[in-house]
Amino acid sequence: MSVNNKETNGTTPSEVKLSRYDQSSKLKRGLRLLYVYALATGAIYTFIGYWDGMFMSAGGPATFLSFILMTLMCLPIAFIYSELATMMPNCGGELVYNTIGLSKHFGFLSAWLIMAAWLIVPPAGVLGIIEWFSFSFQLDLSLTQMFLIAAIALAFYCTLSMLNIQIAGKVQSFMLFSSLTIVAITTVLFLFSKDMSLSNFNNFIASGYAAPGTTLTPDGLPVGGGSNWYGWLIGTALIITPFFGFEIVPQMVEEGTFPIKSMSKAIIGSVVTCGLIYSLFYFALQSVKPWAALTNSGDFSPFISLKVVQETLYWLPGWFWIFGVAAVLFTIGTSVLGFWISGVRLLYAMGRQGFLPKSFSKTNKYDQPIIPNLLILGLALVQLAFSDSAFLANFYSLMAFSVAVAYFITTISSIRLAIREPDWERPFKLKGGMAFRVFTLIICLAIMIGTAFGQPAGAWRALGIYMLVGLALYMYMMIFRWKKEPVWMICPSKISGEFEEKEF
327 pLDDT higher than 50: yes
| Cα–Cα distance list, 324 to 296, 308, 309, 380, 408 (Å) | 20, 12, 9, 24, 36
* Domains of the chain with bracketed CATH: 34-503 (1.20.1740.10)
Find the DSSP H helices in 45-88.
52-59, 63-87
Strand partners of residue 170: none
Residues 6+ apart with CB under 8 A from 88: 96, 97, 100, 489, 490, 491, 492
Q: For residues 348 and 369, give the distance between their C-alpha atoms in angstroms, rounded to a whole number.
A: 6
Q: For residues 207 and 219, give the distance between their C-alpha atoms in angstroms, rounded to a whole number.
A: 8
Three-state secondary structure call for residue 241: helix
Mean pLDDT of 340-350: 95
Are the C-beta atoms of 335 and 121 separated by less than 8 Å?
yes
Give the pLDDT confidence of 33-57 residue by residue, as tens digits: 999 999 999 888 878 999 999 999 9
Q: What is the mean pLDDT of the chain?
A: 90
Res. 15 pLDDT band, cuts 50 70 90: very low
User: pLDDT value at position 392?
Assistant: 61
Give the pLDDT confidence of 118-149 residue by residue, as tens digits: 988 898 889 889 999 999 999 888 878 888 89
Mean pLDDT of 12-31: 66
| Helix orientation angle between 371-386 and 104-137, rounded to the nearest 10 degrees | 60
User: pLDDT value at position 9?
Assistant: 39
User: pLDDT value at position 104?
Assistant: 96
Are the C-beta atoms of 304 and 295 separated by less than 8 Å?
yes
| Helix orientation angle between 33-44 and 330-352, rounded to the nearest 10 degrees | 110
Residues 6+ apart with CB under 8 A from 288: 190, 193, 195, 196, 197, 200, 308, 312
Give the pLDDT confidence of 289-324 residue by residue, as tens digits: 999 999 999 999 999 999 999 999 999 999 999 999
451 pLDDT higher than 80: yes
> Which residue type does 453 have?
F
Give the pLDDT confidence of 253-286 residue by residue, as tens digits: 899 898 988 999 999 999 999 999 999 999 999 9
Give the pLDDT confidence of 56-108 residue by residue, as tens digits: 999 999 999 999 999 999 999 999 999 999 999 999 999 999 999 999 999 99
End-to-end CA distance of the chain: 21
Give the pLDDT confidence of 377-390 residue by residue, as tens digits: 999 998 888 776 56
